[in-house]
Structure 1
Amino acid sequence: MQSSAQSGATRLGVANTLLLNPKGGTLSRLDLHQLPDDKPVFACAKCSEVLALQDELVSQAFTGRSGRAYLMNSTINTNLGKREERKLITGRHTVADLHCASCDAEVGWMYIKAPTGDQRYKEGRYILEEAQIVKENNWR
């Protein structure tokens, strides 16, 4: 039987490590100690908590508040802030700030609703800002 925290989750082939479907929000701390040491990840620059696997990277061609940013399919160990309308380079989007679940540092945002059809691929995906994260473990 699945726990309520696991419903709607997607396994990524890492034992007991779950990432929620982007439509379902984010997940905090489920057996991350079993994440292999050599798995390439993004981690919080402030506390080193793992935030996403490199395999979840969609694009490196994004801009955040502080410069370069990465579009991700999913994140782990993160919490969402309130939904809000925000004017971004590509128009007004409905977003929610993304915080590290360990230290509460703001590390990016989640796209909830995009303004036009050509921007809808972002919905349910996440931005991690390069200035707020570090790359760890054998990046390719």
Structure 2
Amino acid sequence: MGRLYVIQLNGKIYTCKHCQTHLALCQDILSKSFHCRHGKAYLFDKVVNVSVGVKEERMMMTGMHTVSDIFCVCCGSIVGWKYEAAYEKSQKYKEGKFILERFKVTGPDGTNYWISHDARIGGSDADDP
């Protein structure tokens, strides 16, 4: 296993729901208005303590993207995905950015998020208008 990063910034962090490994700082959130199959998700500029899986093409609500699942380095849980490439010009801002799914992380105030009852079944990554 590689180096494990510990973030200390007055508790303003997101952690893995299963093992509490530090994943991201609140200050690195780019958007809280994303949706995935299981409910809400956050777009981050950077995350730590994740390993990046195999690149694959996925049709998402905002079009075709090349993405890689991201896994907690401690427990191996999938916590979201990384945008490797976007094919539509309007989606290029996502390239190199990370999604953390809310129900897979613990929030900065210690809250756990649960799968939304109104979660969308198909696709993922839609921005709220």
- The TM-score normalised by the length of structure 2 is 0.79
Count of aligned residue pairs for this structure pair: 110
> How does the TM-score come out when normalised to structure 1?
0.73
Deviations 1:100-138 (A, max 9, x none): 011000000000000111100000000000010011359
1:69 aligned residue (41, 56, 61): 41
- More contact order relative to length (CA 8 Å, sep ≥ 6): 2
Partner of 1:91: 63
Aligned to 1:106: 78
Structure 1 segments, 4+ long, off by >6 Å, are none
Aligned to 2:100: 128
Please, which of 19, 27, 43 is the counterpart of residue 55 of structure 1?
27
- Gapped runs of 5+ residues in structure 1? 1-26
Relative to 1, partners in 2 of residues 1:62 and 1:78: Cα closer, same or farther, differing over 3 Å?
same
Change beyond 3 A, Cα 1:96–1:28: farther
Identity percentage over the alignment?
Answer: 35
Deviation of residue 66 (structure 1)? Answer: 1.1
Any idea what the Cα deviations from partners look like across 1:65-115, whole Å, max 9, x if unmatched?
211000000000000110000011101100000100110000000000001
Matched, 1:29 2:4: yes
